[in-house]
Structure 1
Amino acid sequence: MATPARVIVWSTGGVGSIAIDAVHRRPDLELVGVWVHSPDKVGRDAGELAGIEAIGITATNDADALIALAPDAVVYAASGPERDAGAVPDYLKLLGAGINVLSTSTTSLVYPPSYFATEWRDQLDAAARAGDASFYASGIFPGFASDQLALLMTTQSKNIRTVTATEIALNDHYPVADVMMDGMGFARPLDFEPMLKTPGFIEMAWKAPIHLIAKGLGVQIEEINGTLDREVTHRDIEVAFGTIPAGTCGAVRTRAAGVVNGREAIVIEHIIRMSRDVAPNWLTSDCDATYRVDIEGEPDIHCAMTMGAAEGHAAGHAAMAATAMRAVNAVPYVVDAPAGLLSSLDIPTTLPRHAFE
C-alpha cells in the first residue's frame, strides 16, 4: 500500500469540519494538523471541534508549526470578510514551502487564467513553481455544478447553441444580515442598490466558470454581460436574519452571459429566494438547492441535480459536504499533478477513493 498523503485542514468551520472527518477516515490520507483562527479553539482536540470523537490532534493557529510538519497538502477552507486578501498570503507561504493547496475559499481561482487579481495570480504561480507545488480551487457552485458538470453534459453534444448552468436556492436559513441585505438587497426596497448592483460585480463573480467552460470547449469569450433582477414579496417573511417586510425584495436572480461568436452562449444563473412563493415566474424547485444544466443544441440536454432532503435545510449541509469533498477527493490527484495553478481541466476527474462503507 502506498504511503498515505499527509494532510492539514485549514479551519474548522462547516466545510473544514467535514473535511477533518473525511481525511481522518481515509486510509490513503493522514490528518497531521488543523489550523484554527479563534484563540479559544487553540489547544483543543480537532475532532471535538469538528463535532466527532477526539482524534488526538491538537488545533493550532501557528502556521509555521504546521508547515514544519511537512504535509503533502493543505485543504484550505477558511472563510470570512477578507476572503482572498486574507487567504492569498497563506497560499503563498504554503506553496513556497512546497505544500500543495486545495482551496474551497477562493472560488474565483477555479480557472486561474481568468482570475481578476492578476498580480496575485502571478505571485501564486511563481510560488507554486518555486516550491514545486500545485494549487487547485473547487467547490459546488462554482467548482462543479456551474462548470465541470456542464462540460460533462456537453460530451453528448453534436452541436451547441447555448450552455446554461443554474443554481436555484432557498436561503431563508442564512443568518448574516449584512450579506443578505446590503450585499444582495433582501428586505430592501427595489430602489436600494446592493453590492450586487455594483458595475462589473456580477461579471467578475462568474467569469471563472464561464471561461473554464469556454476553454474546455475550445472557444473564446468576447465579453461577459451581467444582469440583476429582483422581485418583491407580497407578505412578511420570517427568516434567519430577521423579517423581510411585504413590498421589499424577497428573491434575487443574477445572470452572467459569456458571448461567443457575437451571441450569448455560456450562461451562469443564480436564483435565491427567501420563500418558494416569491418570483413564481422564475425557475423553481421543490428542493432547497437545485443545480441545473440546460444545453440548447443537438441534442437538447436538461440535467437537474438536487442535494439533501427536499426540505428542512438539509441541502445546506449537503452543499457544504459536497464542497468539502471536492477538495478532499482531489488530494491524491493534485499531489501527483505538475507544479502550478490548476483547474479541473488539468487533472483527471477526482473520483473518490475509499468511499464505500
Structure 2
Amino acid sequence: MAERKDRVVVWATGGIGSIAIRAIHERPNLELVGVWVHSPEKDGMDAGELANGEPIGVAATTDADALIALKPDCVIYAASGPERDALAIPDYVKLLSAGLNVVTTSTTRLVNPHAYEPVEWRDQLVTAAKAGQASLYASGIEPGFAADYLALVLATQSSQIEKIHAYEIGLYDDYGVPDIMSDAMGFGRPLDYQPWIAMPGAIEGEWQGQIRMVADALGVEVSEMRSTFDRAVTERTLEVAMGTVEAGTCGALRMQAIGVVDGREAIVIEHVTRLAPDVAPDWPTLPNALGYRVVITGTPDIDCTFDVTLRDRKKAGIESMTSGAGAMVATAMRVVNAVPYVVDAQPGLLSSVDLPLTIPKGAFNPA
C-alpha cells in the first residue's frame, strides 16, 4: 500500500519557514504544494532558492487565496514580526474557516490554546476551527517542548513530585532583532529603562499557558502566578548581532514564571539570557552556548540537560551557524513532524498533550 502524502503549504520564508521547506521537500510522506511570501520581490521565485537551497519547482506567491484554493491538508505558519499575534490571528481564522489545518511556530502562547488570552481571539479561533472542521496546533523547542512537554515525559518516571523547574540558558549574541532585544527585552539599555518584559504581568502572561498545561496534565491546580526579573550589566563593551552594547548597560536577563500549587512555588520556568558568557557568571550556566534543563524534585529526583547543535547548515536549509541554529531546526521540526498527526486529529485547538507522540515519519536516514 502506498504511503499517504499530506499536501502542505508553508507560510513565509524566514528562518523557520526556510528550514520547513527543505525538510518537507525531502520527506516521502509530505508534499510541498505552495509557499506564501509577504514581499512582492519574492513573488514567483522558486521556494527552494528562497530557502537557501536549490530550486525545487514550487513557486512562491503573495496570493493567499490562490494557496487556499489548492486545499492543502495543512499550512505550516512561520511568519514573524513584532506584531505577530495581532497579524497572525486573522490569518489563522481565514485558514481554519476554509477547512485548512494549521501548525504554527509564530504564536508561542498557543502551545496551550486552552489558556490563551485575549479570550476574544481564542473564541475567534474556536469558532473558525468548528466552522471549517480543522485543527490548530502551536509548538517549538521553547515554548512547546523543553519546559512543558519534556517535563511531562520525564514525569512518567515519577512516583511523587514536589517541584518541576525548567530552564532555557543561552547566549543571544547572535540574535539581531533590535526591537525585540533592545525595546522589549532591554539589552543595551541602562537599568533605569523599563523594557516590555519587565512590565507587570508580562512574564506571567508569556509562560502561564505552559505552566497551566503541565499542572492540568498532572491533575493539580495553579492558584496563583508569580514572577521574578533580574538584570545584570556588562562590564565591557560588546559587539553583537543587535549592535554595540556599551559597558554599564544590560548584558544579561534572568526571569522566572512561577506557578503556585497548594501554597508552594511548584512549577517554574526560568530563562537566563546573556550577550556574553562572562556577564552574570554567578547565574545558572550550562556547558554550551544554548541549552535546556528540567529538574524534577520528588521520588525519584530527575535532572535532564540537553542542547541542540547543527553540523550541516546547507542540509538543514539554514544560513547561519550561530548558537541558536540547532534550536531553529528543532523548532521547525516540532511542527513539520506534527503535520500527519494534526491532519488526523479531531477538529479544534490542540496542545501537545492532545496529540500522540509526533514521531517523525520518513526522517530516519542512516546514510
TM-score band by shorter chain is over 0.9
Look up the equivalent residue of 2:343 and give its one-letter code: V
Q: Is the 8 A contact 1:35 1:62 kept in 2?
A: yes
Q: Which residue of 1 aligns with 2:317?
A: none
SS at match of 2:49: helix
**Secondary structure at 1:315 match in 2:** coil
Corresponding residue number in structure 2 for 1:317: 325
Counterpart amino acid of residue 197 in structure 2: L
How far 1:50 moved relative to its partner? 0.5
> How far off its partner does 1:159 sit?
1.0
Equivalent position of 1:190 in the other structure: 191
Q: Describe how 1:145-184 pairs up with structure 2 within 5 A.
A: 145-184=146-185
Given residue 173 of structure 1, which amino acid in structure 2 is its aligned partner? Answer: D
Q: Give the structure 2 partner of residue 346 of structure 1.
A: 354
- 8 Å contact kept, 2:96–2:134: yes
Aligned residues: 356
Structure 1 residues 2-151: aligned runs within 5 Å: 2-151=3-152
Counterpart of 1:7, as a letter, is: V
Q: Which residue of 1 aligns with 2:314?
A: none
Which stretch of structure 1 is more off in the superposition, 74-83 or 234-243? 234-243
Question: How far does residue 237 in structure 1 lie from its aligned partner after superposition?
Answer: 1.6
Q: Which amino acid aligns with 1:73?
A: C
Mapped to 2, the partners of 1:182 and 1:46 lie a distance apart of 33
CA offset digits 1:296-333 (Å, max 9, x no partner): 111111100111169x9543111111011000000000
Q: CA deviation at 1:2?
A: 3.5
**TM-score normalised according to structure 1 size:** 0.97
Q: Is the 8 A contact 1:173 1:313 kept in 2?
A: no
TM-score normalised per structure 2: 0.95
Moved more, 190-199 or 252-261: 190-199
Measured after TM superposition, the shift of residue 158 of structure 1 is: 1.1
Residue correspondence of structure 1 range 297-312 to structure 2 within 5 A: 297-308=298-309
CA RMSD in angstroms comes to: 1.3
- Tell whether the 8 Å contact from 1:287 to 1:309 is kept in structure 2 after alignment: no
Q: Does 1:334 align with 2:335?
A: no
1:76 deviates by 0.4
Q: Is the 8 A contact 2:174 2:323 kept in 1?
A: no
Question: After alignment, is 5-14 or 281-290 more displaced?
Answer: 281-290
CA contact (8 A) 1:161 1:297 kept: yes
2:325 alignment partner AA: H
Greater CA drift, 173-182 or 201-210? 173-182
Structure 1 unmatched runs, 5+: none
Are the aligned partners of 1:6 and 1:32 in contact in 2 as well (CA < 8 Å)? yes
- Structure 1 residue 96: deviation in Å? 0.6
Aligned to 1:356: 364
Deviation at 1:232, TM superposition (A): 1.2
Q: Displacement of 1:178 after TM fit?
A: 2.6
Q: What CA deviation, in whole Å up to 9, does each residue of 1:48-74 have, x standing for no partner?
A: 100121111110011110000010000
**After superposition, what is the alpha-carbon deviation per residue over 1:209-240, rounded to whole angstroms, capped at 9, x for unaligned?**
10111111111111110111011111222211
Deviations 1:159-193 (A, max 9, x none): 11110111001011111223212211111221211
DSSP-derived class of the 1:264 partner: strand
Contact 2:164 2:267 in 1 (8 A): yes
Report the equivalent of 1:228: 229
List aligned pairs for 1:244-283, cutoff 5 A: 244-283=245-284
Q: Structure 1 stretch 28-37 or stretch 180-189: which is displaced more?
A: 180-189
